Amino acid sequence: MIMTVTLNAAIDKTYIVPKFPIGEATRAGRPLVHPGGKGINVARVVRQFGMPSLATGFVGGKNGEAITDMLSGLDVGHDFVRVAGGESRLCLTIIDEASGRATELLEPGPPVTARELSELKRKVELGARRSKVAVFSGSIPEGIPSSVYRELIAAAQAAGCLTILDTSGDGLVQGIAAKPFLIKPNEHEVARLLGKPLEREEELYPLFGRLLAQGIACAVVSLGAQGCIAAHNGTLYKVPAPRIRAVNTVGCGDSFVGALAVQLASGASMERALIQAAAAGAADALTFEAGFVRVEDVKRLAQEISVMRL
């Protein structure tokens, strides 16, 4: 089983409009509605690959109930802490068909108390005992210290779980201290680790050296349409993404991580895991739904990908 931790669950609504002019009223059709937040997206993708998944984290209010009901409907196992501080957030994506661009509007979500956080730690410990891989994804809500991922990852690892961290900012910097098995910043998030915006691929090489020396087994930097670069066990991999006609790239990183988690839980080689992940990230971009893949697309696209060892 794969456990995913989403500290700020969401209801994701995606509106597809012919044109989205700023400062004007736009009448939209019915949105696509899904349970969201990065870890929940990962859990859904894991399930699409046919592997059992357990989603945990924080939900609140009626929106929280809607999130867990939708997860049950998708056959995704869940065990969330219900917070008293308010409603789980709405995350809106507006896709402008004329330009092909997506605009996201992400609410902050409810605050979390220290007692609610202790409750989550207990759930993570229990879930990790039943899981091969634990995935920690997404932003950190108000009330929780940025050291949260460090503590949760340590708890999951103590239970024998392989851990993946996909977050940004201080949460990423502090989470690295727990030595997760794998981290996956994107090209923007890695700027925090580099201390400057990423300009050239080669700038990643010394960073990879530092991360591996710090005890991270695998560091993957996703580069959108350029694919990804990864370092594992002293080997550098470059994985070009297949060429596709993207309709929505929101959530592609979550599908990438979901496929990685499935492959690592199945004992696949890093090379195979990276190919499947790159194929899943691209497959997600073929659909309007965020964090959603058609497995047949992943299989087809995987055949177009070959890994280079640098």
Binding-site ranges for ligand TA6 (CB under 6 A): 8, 10, 12, 36-38, 41, 91, 106, 138-139, 250-251, 253-254, 290-291
Shorter beta-carbon distance to ligand TA6: residue 13 or 179:
13
Phi, psi of 4 (to 5 degrees): -120, 145
- In the complex, what is the shortest distance from the CB of residue 241 to ligand TA6, in angstroms, rounded to a whole number? 17
CB-based burial, 157-183: b 16+ in 10 Å, e otherwise: bebebbbbbbbbeebbbbbbebbbbbb
| Cβ proximity of 61 and 270 under 8 Å | no
Shorter beta-carbon distance to ligand TA6: residue 176 or 231:
176
Tell me the pairing of strands 32-36 and 10-17.
antiparallel
- In the complex, what is the shortest distance from the CB of residue 259 to ligand TA6, in angstroms, rounded to a whole number? 14
Shorter beta-carbon distance to ligand TA6: residue 10 or 211:
10
Give me the residue whose beta carbon is nearest to ligand TA6. Answer: 138
Shorter beta-carbon distance to ligand TA6: residue 60 or 138:
138
- In the complex, what is the shortest distance from the CB of residue 138 to ligand TA6, in angstroms, rounded to a whole number? 3
Shorter beta-carbon distance to ligand TA6: residue 110 or 291:
291
Shorter beta-carbon distance to ligand TA6: residue 35 or 227:
35
Shorter beta-carbon distance to ligand TA6: residue 254 or 297:
254
- What are the structure tokens assigned to 165, written together? 């961290």
Shorter beta-carbon distance to ligand TA6: residue 167 or 232:
167
- In the complex, what is the shortest distance from the CB of residue 4 to ligand TA6, in angstroms, rounded to a whole number? 11
- In the complex, what is the shortest distance from the CB of residue 38 to ligand TA6, in angstroms, rounded to a whole number? 4
- In the complex, what is the shortest distance from the CB of residue 203 to ligand TA6, in angstroms, rounded to a whole number? 24
- In the complex, what is the shortest distance from the CB of residue 250 to ligand TA6, in angstroms, rounded to a whole number? 5
- In the complex, what is the shortest distance from the CB of residue 41 to ligand TA6, in angstroms, rounded to a whole number? 5
Residue 286, CA distances (Å) to 51, 56, 67, 263 in order: 22, 28, 24, 21
